[in-house]
Amino acid sequence: MPPIFTWNVRVYYEDTDAGGVVFYANYLKFFERARTEWLRAAGVSRLDMIADSTIFAVKNAAIDYRAPALLDDELTLTVIVQKLGRASLVFFQEVWRGTDLLTTASITIACVHTQTLRPCAIPAHAWEKIAAVPIQAGNGNT
């Protein structure tokens, strides 16, 4: 899998406010979907993690809104792993409309036990697949 994963999304009416501009919180949904597809492409099964009583939860999100996405835009989202720990990952993500960079985010996710919701090690079967993806320390395309 390449160090920069891309996933496309179309902006639907439900993603926008009354003015046809993507509502700011919906970028978090776009980022989540792109990370989910990244995990799938890396071969990590969320169902297997749940069977191991583990899930990923967002620990921190820092977002920079540069320009708005609009109704019916086709967006390209990027996902880059910046850091992999035993119980967490740091992602750098971007939203592009063509050649225009609209939004960037640094998002940390932690592996937590489903019963206690306390941090725990990423299960070995998932960690090995994630560790096989190249880590890119910089901000990718920016």
Catalytic residue among 15, 17, 48, 64: 17
CB–CB of 45/86 below 8 Å? no
Active site residue 48: no
DSSP letters for 43-88:
T--HHHHHHTTEEEEEEEEEEEE-S--BTT-EEEEEEEEEEE-SSE
C-alpha torsion 119→124→130→132, nearest 10:
150
CB–CB of 83/73 below 8 Å? no
Catalytic residues: 17
